[in-house]
Amino acid sequence: MGGVSIEKLIDERRKEQNILEIQDQLQLEERLIYAKRTTRVTKGGKRFSFSALVIVGDRRGFVGFGLGKAREVPIAIAKAIEDGKKHIIRVPIVEGTVPHDVIGHYGPTMIKVMPARRGTGIVAGGAAKPIFELAGYTDVLTKILGSTNPNNVVRAVFDALLKLTTLEEEAKLRGISEEELRKRYKLYARV
């Protein structure tokens, strides 16, 4: 990643896609990845704090993640959901899968995301599966390499999703028509 935070990249993408205007109309679902307890030992005893990681999405191409911290679990989850709504991005979906192979990095975690044929399902482990489900993908292959810490996996998946391009952009980049690219795509990921 070279030191650029995922949050900055997400903010730039949100401005490009004008998500602030349509964010209120989205019917979002939430999925809790984890809620963990941390302890701070003070002179008077132990103080507990909770952190929660949540994925939000509408299953139609919009997905985001949020982290919340508080002294109680329900408040931490509510903060995480609010944070997740601030990090929603639009992702391209082509016939239920990703448009092309992409690799996402974050810290020690690397994830490879590949298109899959119809009927494959979402082959993803740990914290990656709910992201693809709530984004609206039905068939995706993934492989996580390195650390499987949920925080790092979520950010690596979002790094990969930010690198995805639509079929129109890919066709323009390659210098071929969109129909030709779609025909090649159907050979690769059969419908």
In the predicted model, is pLDDT for residue 174 greater than 70? yes
Cβ burial, residue 73 (10 Å; 0-12/13-18/19+): middle
Q: How far is CA 106 from CA 2, 48, 118, 158, 163, in A?
A: 10, 28, 29, 9, 13
Q: Which of 34, 100, 40, 94 is nearest to 68 (CA)?
A: 34
Flag whether 191 is in a domain. no
Is 70:79 a contact under the CB 8 Å cutoff?
yes
pLDDT one-digit tens code per residue, 148-159: 999 999 999 999
Flag whether 105 is in a domain. yes
100 band by pLDDT with thresholds 50, 70 and 90: confident
Flag whether 153 is in a domain. yes
- What is the average per-residue pLDDT within 162-178? 84
Flag whether 189 is in a domain. no
Flag whether 20 is in a domain. yes
pTM for this predicted structure: 0.87
Note down the domain range covering 66. Answer: 6-184
187 band by pLDDT with thresholds 50, 70 and 90: low
pLDDT one-digit tens code per residue, 19-62: 777 777 788 899 999 999 999 999 989 999 999 999 999 998 89
Flag whether 190 is in a domain. no
Q: Are strands 109-115 and 122-123 parallel, antiparallel or unpaired?
A: unpaired
Domain count, the chain: 1
Flag whether 90 is in a domain. yes
Flag whether 10 is in a domain. yes
- What is the CATH classification number for the domain harbouring 136? 3.30.230.10
